[in-house]
Amino acid sequence: MQSFTQLTATAVPLRAENVDTDQIIPARFLTAVTKDGMGEGCFAAWRFGADGALDPDFVLNKECHEGAEILIAGRNFGSGSSREHAVWALTDYGFRTVISPGFADIFHNNSLKNGLLIVTLPEETVQMLLDLVEEQPDTRITVDLEAQRVSLPDGQQVSFPIDPYRKLCLLQGVDDLGYLLSKSADIAAFEAAMQPA
Amino acid sequence: MNNGLPRTLFEKVWDAHVVVQDAGAPAVLYVDTHLVHEVTSPQAFATLRERGLPVRRPDRTFATMDHAIPTRNVDITLWPSDAATQVRTLRENCEDFGVTLFDIDGPVQGIVHVVGPEMGITQPGTTIVCGDSHTSTHGAFGALAFGIGTSEVGHVLATQCLLQDRPKTFAINVDGELGRGVSAKDVILAIIAQNGAAGGRGHVFEYRGSAIRKMSMANRMTICNMSIEGGARAGMIAPDETTFDYLRGRPYAPQGEEWDRAVAYWRTLRSDDGARFDRELTLDANALQPMVTYGTNPGQGMAITGRVPTVDDLDDPAERRSLLGALEYMGLRQGQPMAGLPVDIVFIGSCTNSRVEDLREAAAIVRGKHVADDVWAIVVPGSKAVKAQAEAEGLDRIFSEAGFEWRGAGCSMCLAMNDDKAGAGKYVASTSNRNFQGRQGPGARSLLMSPIMAAAAAVNGRVVDVREML
C-alpha cells in the first residue's frame, strides 16, 4: 500500500451531497478482474455526455482543476455499494485525499486500505473550502497526516480526527493483512475453542 | 465482554467473535461464513496467489455468480466476454482454492443473499461477510452480517478474520399492525425516509417490535437488506420460531441432536431486558402507507398519498440542494404527486424483493390483467430454487400471460451490469434497493417500491396506490 505522510496540492470542488459509489464508478466498469485502469470509469456519468464526449461544464473537466490531487465534496460521500473499485478509480484518476463532512462506513474502510486519505471536517469548514477553491482554483492546500492538520496558503489551519491505528498504517504504508497473519496462533486457538454448531 | 450487564443482540454476537483486541487497534473479528461472488473477488484471490497464501477455511467459504451474468441466456459462450471472464475466473479460483461454488451450470445458483438463506448457510448468531453491501440481508436471522471491500475479502480468505471497529447500537421499534397493501418494503423505505440515507452511519440497526415479530423471513430479509441504504452496515432481528421453522431441514442447517443444541443457543440470542442502545427510533406500523421514492438517494421517499417535498419544507441548505439536484435528474417538480406518473419499465427482482413470497404477492396483482402498452416489464427470480418453486405454483404463467418477461436468476437490472439496462430518461418502477443516478442504466430514473406497487404500476402504466386494486 502506498504510504501517506503529507500532500500539498490543488483541489476540485464537487458541490454534491450523497455522492454514491455508483457515481464514483458505474457498475459497467466493474467487469475487470484486475485493479488496473479504473480511473477511466471515475465519475464517468458526470465526466462524459450521452455522446461519449467530455462535458466541459463538469467540474473535474475544467482546465483550472487539472492535476488536482484533493477532492472536496458534500456530506455522506461514498454511500451505497461496497465496491472497492470506487477507491481504485479515485486513486487511479490521481486523487490522494478526499475531504467531506462525512463518509459512508464501507468506503471509509476501503479508502484507508489503499492509501487514500479521507479527511472529515465540519460542514461549515467544507463549505468554506468549496467556496475558496471555486473562487481561486490554484489554491494549494496542505494535508499533513502526522499533524492531522489541513493548512491553507493564508495560514489558516484546521485539525481533523483519525483513528490512531489507521493513521499508523497510512504513515507506514502497511495494510491489515500482515497484522492479521501475525495473529494466526490466536485465530487457531479461537477456532479450537469454538463450539460445534 | 460479558460482565453480567444486560446486552443487546448485537453485543452478544460481537463479543462471541472477538479473537483478540490489542490496545489501540481494532478488534480481530472471527468470520463464521464468507460468501463470494464473481465481481468483487478476483482481485482478492489474486492477492492470495501473489503472497502464496491458501484460503484458511474453504469449508466456511461459499461462492455463487449473480452480478454480471445475463439472465436471458445461460450459454456462457454467447455472453459478453467480460462477464464470461469473471465467471471463468471465479470457477478457476474456487477450483484452485477448494471453495464450494454454486455454479450457474448447477442446480443451485442465484443472488448470493437469496442462496445463502435458502441453503441454510445463514444461521443465527454467526458472523457473515461478503464483498457486497447488501450482506446486511442475513441479519434477518440474528446473524451479524455486513458488506466488505475487496481488500477485506482477501483478509477473510487468508485469515478468516477482519480488523473491525466496534459499531454502535441503534434500536428501531416498529409496533402495531401494517395496513392492507402495506409491505415490508414500505416499512424500510419509511424508516430511511425518516432517519436519512446516512442516519445509521457507524451503527448496527436492531429491528424490534410487534410488526417485525409477525413478519415472515422473506419480509424480514427485505427489511435487513436495506439497512445499508439507511447508512448502517448491518441490521439484525432476533431469531424466533419463524426463524427456526424456516431453517429446519435446509441442506446446511444442523441436523438431529446438533439441531436441538443449536436452537437452544439461538433462543438466547435476543436483547436482554434493560439492554441499552446508543440510539432509538420508533415507528407506528398502523400509520404507514405504501411508499415510493422520488429522488436519487433511498432517503428521498414518500407515502404514495403524499407530494414531493418543496425546498420550503427543508431547513438545511445541503438538503435543499440535494432535493433540487435530484428532481432535475428525475424530471420531477417540487410539490407534485407521484401517483399518476407514467412508467416505462417495471423490474421485479433483486436481493431486496425476489423471493417466492414477493413473486406470489406481485402475481396476485397481475393475475388476469395485462402489462400496459409501451411498458417493458421483467421478473427476475432471486435464485434457481425460487424460479423452480414459482414455476411449480404457476406464477411464471401468470406473469408471462400478463406480458412480463420471465427470466433466469441474478441481480440483473438492480445494478445493470448485464444487458438488462433501462434507457436514459426512462422511469423504472423497481423493487430493488437503490435509486442512485444511472444505477439501472445510464440516465435511468428509478422509483423504488414494493413488489405489489410495482405490479400495480405495470398493469396501469403509471404509479398508482396499489390499495385501489385490492
Residue B80 with chain A: CB contacts under 8 Å = 31
Q: CA–CA separation, B424 vs B416, rounded Å? A: 13
- Give the pLDDT confidence of B24-53 residue by residue, as tens digits: 999 999 999 999 999 999 999 999 999 999
Which pLDDT score, from 0 to 100, does residue B2 have?
61
Cβ A18–B297 below 8 Å, yes or no?
Answer: yes
Kindly tell me if the per-residue pLDDT of B204 is higher than 60. Answer: yes
- Give the pLDDT confidence of A135-162 residue by residue, as tens digits: 999 999 999 999 999 999 999 999 999 9
Taking the Cβ of residue A26 and every Cβ of chain B, the question of whether any pair is shorter than 8 Å is answered with yes
Which pLDDT score, from 0 to 100, does residue A197 have?
44
Percent of chain A surpassing pLDDT 70? 98
∠ CA A54-A58-A62, rounded to 5°: 80
A130 lies in which domain range?
6-194
Residue B416 with chain A: CB contacts under 8 Å = 27-28
The b-or-e profile of B425-461 (16+ CB within 10 A means b, else e) is: ebbbbbbbbbbbbbbbbbbbbbbbbbbbbbbbbbbbb
| Three-state DSSP class for residue A37 | coil
Sequence-separated (6 or more) residues with CB below 8 Å from residue A193: none
pLDDT (average), residues B90-106: 97
- Give the pLDDT confidence of B426-452 residue by residue, as tens digits: 999 999 999 999 999 999 999 999 999
Q: Kindly state whether residue A83 falls inside one of the protein's structural domains.
A: yes
Give the CB-side neighbour count of residue B376, counting CA atoms within 13 A. Answer: 10
Residue B415 with chain A: CB contacts under 8 Å = 22, 27, 81
Cβ B24–A164 below 8 Å, yes or no?
Answer: yes
Q: Kindly state whether residue A127 falls inside one of the protein's structural domains.
A: yes
Shortest alpha-carbon distance between residue B150 and chain A (Å): 6
Shortest alpha-carbon distance between residue B408 and chain A (Å): 20
Q: Kindly state whether residue A177 falls inside one of the protein's structural domains.
A: yes
E strands, B295-412, in order? 301-303, 345-348, 376-379, 405-406
Shortest alpha-carbon distance between residue B45 and chain A (Å): 10
Q: What's the grid cell of residue A61?
A: 473537466
Cβ B67–A180 below 8 Å, yes or no?
Answer: no
Classify strands B279-284 and B127-130 as parallel, antiparallel or unpaired: unpaired
Q: Kindly state whether residue A144 falls inside one of the protein's structural domains.
A: yes
Percent of chain B surpassing pLDDT 70? 100
CATH of the domain at A83: 3.20.19.10
Cβ A181–B158 below 8 Å, yes or no?
Answer: yes
Q: How many domains does chain A have?
A: 1
- Give the pLDDT confidence of A13-55 residue by residue, as tens digits: 999 999 999 999 999 999 999 999 999 999 999 999 888 999 9
Q: How far apart are the first and last CA of chain A?
A: 38
Residue A186 with chain B: CB contacts under 8 Å = 19-20, 28
Q: CA–CA separation, B171 vs B209, rounded Å? A: 10
Shortest alpha-carbon distance between residue B349 and chain A (Å): 17
Cβ A177–B159 below 8 Å, yes or no?
Answer: yes
The ipTM value here is 0.96
Which pLDDT score, from 0 to 100, does residue B350 have?
98
Shortest alpha-carbon distance between residue B265 and chain A (Å): 9
Which pLDDT score, from 0 to 100, does residue B264 have?
98
Shortest alpha-carbon distance between residue A44 and chain B (Å): 10
Residue A110 with chain B: CB contacts under 8 Å = 149-152
B349: left (phi over 0), alpha (psi -120 to 50) or beta: left
What confidence category does residue B77 fall into, taking pLDDT thresholds of 50, 70 and 90?
Answer: confident
If contacts are CB pairs under 8 Å, which of residues 55-114 in chain A contact chain B? Answer: 74-76, 79-85, 87, 102, 104-106, 109-110, 113-114
Q: CA–CA separation, B285 vs B299, rounded Å? A: 18
pLDDT averaged over every residue in chain B: 97
pLDDT (average), residues B80-87: 91
Cβ A18–B322 below 8 Å, yes or no?
Answer: yes
Q: In terms of Cα–Cα distance, which of B109, B358, B132, B120 is closest to B225?
A: B132
pTM: predicted TM-score of the whole model, two decimal places: 0.97
Which pLDDT score, from 0 to 100, does residue B1 have?
52
Q: CA–CA separation, B206 vs A108, rounded Å? A: 22
- Give the pLDDT confidence of A65-98 residue by residue, as tens digits: 999 999 999 999 999 999 999 999 999 999 999 9
Task: Please give the residue of chain A at the shortest CA–CA distance from B265.
Answer: A197
Query: What are the CA-CA distances from residue A181 to residues A83, A188, B254 (Å)?
Result: 24, 11, 31
pLDDT (average), residues B72-93: 89
Residue B86 with chain A: CB contacts under 8 Å = 31, 33
Q: Kindly state whether residue A1 falls inside one of the protein's structural domains.
A: no
Of B20, B28, B82, the CB nearest to A31: B82
Look-up: residue for cell 496558503? A153
Percent of chain B surpassing pLDDT 90? 96
CB B324 within 8 A of CB B417: no
